[in-house]
Amino acid sequence: MRTSWADSVAAAENPASGSSANNGSVRTTSALTRPAYVPPHLRNRPPSSDPPAPANSGSTSGADRSGYGAPLGGSRWGGGPRNDYSRSGYSGGGGGWNNRSGGWDRGREREVNPFGDDDPTEQEFSEQENSGINFDAYEDIPVETSGDNVPPPVNTFAEIDLGEALNQNIRRCKYVKPTPVQRHAIPISLAGRDLMACAQTGSGKTAAFCFPIISGIMKDQFAQRRPRGRVAFPLALILSPTRELSMQIHEEAKKFAYQTGVKVVVAYGGAPINQQLRELERGVDILVATPGRLVDLLERARVSLELIKYLALDEADRMLDMGFEPQIRKIVQQMDMPPPGVRQTMLFSATFPKEIQRLASDFLSTYIFLAVGRVGSSTDLIAQRVEFVHESDKRSHLMDLLHAQKANGVHGKQALTLVFVETKKGADSLEHWLCINGFPATTIHGDRTQQEREHALKSFKSGHTPILVATDVAARGLDIPHVAHVVNFDLPNDIDDYVHRIGRTGRAGKSGLATAFFNENNTSMARALAELMQESNQEVPAWLSRYAARSSYGGGKNRRSGGGRFGGRDFRRDSSYNRGGGGGGSGYGASGGYSGGYGPGMTSAWD
Ligand SMILES: Nc1ncnc2c1ncn2[C@@H]1O[C@H](COP(=O)(O)OP(=O)(O)OP(=O)(O)O)[C@@H](O)[C@H]1O
């Protein structure tokens, strides 16, 4: 008999895989003094005469978090090290990269410990939260690489020369072995090659691009990092489409770069620019940014891209669709960034429509294409359900789901549930309705202030408000531990958006559940949805198969045209490319031949 969705939620919350969720261990050790650290690549250098600046928060977030009041009762999930904003640089206590110059003398500064466990006795790696990752789920995944002289993959982190400080941080993160995308992408990037990488949601792409960048900067003996005047000269640029994702990448990168001497700064819209400018003036090696805020900084001549050696685009297909493409072209092609071939470019996403691949090739030089799993596929770790629900029944149906989920939850608690809707207004109205019906909910969308957005996310992550109603602003990249259930209250119009949305659960080897409400308004999605479910070994309801058989191909402008399950995903393998359509000049100019499903007006809401 088919398992009910409620059972699935309970299973997702209590995975038998040995996840350490809810283990109750909260580390509360205080920061201890440690000897001044000199990063390996800076040893034997004459010390600078600059005195260290007085310690302050070292926060680079730009947003004023003081208004949030006391912590939201702490996480009910215990002490996992990931993405807990309340713990790291936001805390306001001590240290940080405070000297003005950056560069050689920065190694003497005390750096905020992003792991929050300065006591070395606490650094036993016995809990191994991330070793609970179900690697078997990834082992038989097909991998495709194409391009010239592809460096071979590695099986362990020990096989890669990342540098001891970075290796130490990998251990602190409790990453025991590399995920498949890391096994392939890291050696490719370390070999200096450009890369277009596609791997499923939650499979560790962030580390796959961060590790080679940090390692490369550590090894870069001749780098000139000091700001000249008030202009910052980052060596690496990581662009992402949303403020929250940039903040998250910044938090992750700070952990990976801890005590390496590599300084990571974030800049995103909606937060006071002055604070970000001050942080940049203190020196930056890796700048994580959203495109809009970066353009602003470039136009003010406060950032120069002249020294960029590494460029990474996370959610690269989104960054190159019509909403962002003009800004990306401006940043990458019309300012002072070194051209492809001089800089190293890495593009990552879980989805990569062919048209976007073609466009992206403008930014790359003789690159390697890597696909872990089929491009745009979703992981089998997510149990997908589709239910036929008329528009007018959606609220009561959601209510039924939530009630049953609560009844099945641990100690009657509501599991973290992310509900996607189409519009900002719809998000507010559903949130209100849930709250008055006794379900603590909050919302994240582009009409909320940045402070409200951050507060909502924090409240959701902590379990204080276990239901988050969101627009697509939360669809990509966000790594929120313990999201048990994603509900597509309104289905998106593009199957790639569906893949990203459901990918907020079932991450890092853990299982998750996704429920979609389908009705006559979604018939254009039927075929793509049925195919996606089928290839992820999901049960496709007979009624959906009938809709799929009747409908023409929809669900996005981009994909599955060949219908092939695996193979030929690198657009360069298409015959049209070889007939002269591809290569450098792609024929997809700045005006773009691809709309990606977002109107141009969406940009500001996302950035
Ligand atoms: N080698 C590893 N071992 C264990 N856990 C890992 C490893 N690498 C990454 N993780 C964890 O896996 C989770 C997902 O990683 P990440 O956010 O980078 O996924 P992603 O592929 O970028 O997903 P998305 O496509 O949704 O952006 C994170 O919590 C991260 O800490």
Q: Is the pLDDT of residue 122 over 80?
A: no
Output the six-digit token pair for 195.
């890369």
Question: How many whole angstroms separate alpha carbon 358 and alpha carbon 433?
Answer: 44
How far, CA to CA in Å, does 526 sit from each of 488, 492, 531, 554, 555? 14, 12, 9, 8, 8
| The CATH number, out of the four listed (3.40.50.300, 2.40.50.100, 1.10.260.40, 3.40.50.1820), of the domain defined by the range 135-372 | 3.40.50.300
- φ/ψ (deg, to 5) at 303: -135, 135
Q: Could you tell me which of 246, 170, 293 has the C-alpha nearest to residue 478?
A: 246
Q: Is the pLDDT of residue 519 over 90?
A: yes
State whether the beta carbon of 215 lies less than 6 angstroms from ligand 1: no
Give the amino acid at 599.
Answer: G
User: Which of the 8 DSSP states describes residue 362?
Assistant: G
Question: How many whole angstroms separate alpha carbon 604 and alpha carbon 395?
Answer: 29
| Distance from the alpha carbon of residue 205 to the mean position of ligand 1, in angstroms | 6
| Distance from the alpha carbon of residue 248 to the mean position of ligand 1, in angstroms | 11
pLDDT of residue 137: 60
Q: Average pLDDT, stretch 102-125?
A: 55
pLDDT of residue 407: 80
Output the six-digit token pair for 82.
């990931």
pLDDT of residue 375: 85
Contact 304, 281 (CB under 8 A): no
Q: Of all protein residues, whose CA lies closest to atom 20 belonging to ligand 1?
A: 202
Residue in the structure block whose two tokens are 């003996």: 221
List every span in the chain annotated with CATH 3.40.50.300.
135-372, 382-551
pLDDT bin (cut points 50, 70, 90) of residue 281 is very high
- Tens-digit pLDDT profile for residues 297-318: 999 999 999 999 999 999 999 9
| The CATH number, out of the four listed (3.40.50.880, 3.30.465.10, 3.40.190.10, 3.40.50.300), of the domain defined by the range 382-551 | 3.40.50.300
| Distance from the alpha carbon of residue 316 to the mean position of ligand 1, in angstroms | 17
Q: Of all protein residues, whose CA lies closest to atom 31 belonging to ligand 1?
A: 82
Separation of CA 260 from chain center: 22
Q: Which of 479, 482, 496, 500 to mutate to test the pocket of ligand 1 (most atoms within 8 A of CB)?
A: 479
Q: Average pLDDT, stretch 161-180?
A: 95
**Does the structure's ipTM exceed the value 0.90?**
yes
Question: How many whole angstroms separate alpha carbon 446 and alpha carbon 456?
Answer: 12
- Tens-digit pLDDT profile for residues 432-452: 999 999 999 999 999 999 999
Q: Which residues contact 396 (CB under 8 A, 6 or more apart)?
A: none
* Highest-pLDDT range among 70-79, 466-475, 577-586: 466-475
Question: How many whole angstroms separate alpha carbon 140 and alpha carbon 578?
Answer: 31
Question: How many whole angstroms separate alpha carbon 287 and alpha carbon 265?
Answer: 5
Q: Is the pLDDT of residue 217 over 60?
A: yes
Question: How many whole angstroms separate alpha carbon 18 and alpha carbon 498?
Answer: 28
Which tops the pLDDT comparison, 129 or 333?
333
Which residues face 198 on adjacent strands? Answer: 349, 371
Output the six-digit token pair for 400.
């039924």
| Distance from the alpha carbon of residue 450 to the mean position of ligand 1, in angstroms | 25
Output the DSSP codes for 392-407. GGHHHHHHHHHHHHHH
pLDDT of residue 225: 60
- Tens-digit pLDDT profile for residues 33-54: 333 323 333 434 443 333 333 3
pTM of the model as a whole: 0.78
